[in-house]
Amino acid sequence: MQIEDAKEDFLSYCKIEKGLVESSTVKSYQEDLKIFIQWLDEHYNHHDKNDSTTRIDFLVSHLNKTMVKEYLNHLGHTLSAKSMARHLTTIRQFSLYLVKEKELPLDITAGITPPKIGRKLPEVLNANEMEQLLNIPLNNAFDYRNKAMLELMYATGLRISELVKLTIFDLDFSTQLITIKGKGRKERVIPFGDYAKYYVERYLEVRPSLLVKGKPQTDILFLNNHGEGMTRQGFFKNLKKILVAQGIKKEVSPHTIRHSFATTMLKHGANLRVIQELLGHEDITTTKIYTHISNEKVHDDYKKHHLRKSERGEKNEI
């Protein structure tokens, strides 16, 4: 099988079988494999022995572990460890698919470890900063919408992509449960608190005023000024305006609110498995990063407030 055909089959498999039609993951796979195949073409392209100008398309059966190692070495000259790790992940998923389809006998990435990435802890807002962010004045329908979105996000830890896809039918106010359509079409049902319930209900009272006459009505919960569903970009733009108005100088993104939800839950004693379920993480190792944030905060507080901290001070004699 030619590698270009294999690539297209793999991308179709990801979209259809793995349910990643609307995921940015497939786009990343597509771009990464395009670069990988171009590199293979430049370094390993085969030509017809009778005509040096005629290139024979690279076959999947030509792939091997040495090529992957050389390619990663090539990437190391220009890319960060994080980007290199992503490229390796793409090739590994592609390779595993080819093994599954019996186009390769073995995984060509087996035993190849990604470069070590320095763990960067996500930015979070503490309780006072979250209160400052959420305490926005409510003067019009857009303010009520922004308030409801922020409260719901902080109450549930939703991804921004999940928040903007919510419909008016996804929230059950009697049970205070919300149905989330997450990555890979996976659904999860999670609770939301009284504050979020109150402000979403207040928003729903003014939501009709955001519908635009003559346009088809939508079931999407949160609407923009065109009467259409809010976009991720639109919410981020509004969030930046709110941060300035509220005097918050930290670099805050929608994901910061998700991180803040998780650290708040952990701080107040929530089980890590529960937080994993609420966030929709497939792997608990992704969730464990919040324990590092919590531990770092404990360490900082200890250094600031404990009488017998590590710095040498005067010794009291008894």
Question: What is the Cα–Cα distance from 33 to 40, expressed in whole angstroms?
Answer: 10
DSSP state for residue 227 in the 8-state scheme: S
Predicted pLDDT at 72: 92
C-alpha distances out from residue 293 to 80, 85, 127, 310, Å: 24, 23, 14, 21
pLDDT for 265: 84
Dist. CA 136–CA 144, nearest whole Å: 9
Q: Residue 41 has which token pair? A: 């073409």
Tokens 């802890």 found at: 121
- What is the DSSP code (8-state) at residue 315? P
Is 273 in a helix, a strand, or coil?
helix
Domains (range + CATH), the chain: 3-100 (1.10.150), 127-303 (1.10.443.10)
Question: What are the residue numbers of the active site?
Answer: 159, 183, 255, 258, 281, 290
User: How far apart, in whole angstroms, are the C-alpha atoms of residue 294 and residue 187?
Assistant: 28
Q: Which pLDDT belongs to residue 17?
A: 82
Strands (E), the chain: 46-48, 51-56, 171-172, 177-181, 187-191
**CA nearest neighbour of 42 among 73, 67, 11, 78:** 67
Please give the C-alpha separations between residue 105 and each of 37, 60, 95, 102, 110, in angstroms, as whole numbers: 20, 11, 10, 6, 12
Structure tokens at 67: 């090529």
Q: Are 121 and 292 in contact (CB under 8 A)?
A: yes
pLDDT, tens digit only, all 318 positions of the chain: 899 999 999 999 988 888 776 678 888 999 999 999 999 988 876 544 444 444 446 789 889 999 999 999 999 888 888 889 999 999 999 999 999 999 999 999 999 988 776 656 668 888 899 999 999 999 999 999 999 999 999 999 898 989 999 999 999 999 999 998 866 667 889 899 999 999 999 999 999 999 998 888 899 999 999 999 999 999 999 999 999 999 998 889 998 998 888 888 888 888 878 888 888 877 777 667 666 655 554 445 445 544 444 444 444 443
Amino acid 121 reads L
Write down the pLDDT at residue 116: 74
- Picking from 240, 30, 242, 223, the residue whose alpha carbon sits closest to that of residue 136 is 242
Q: What is the pLDDT of residue 300?
A: 55
Phi/psi of residue 178, nearest 5 degrees:
-130, 135
- In this prediction, residue 304 carries a pLDDT of 53
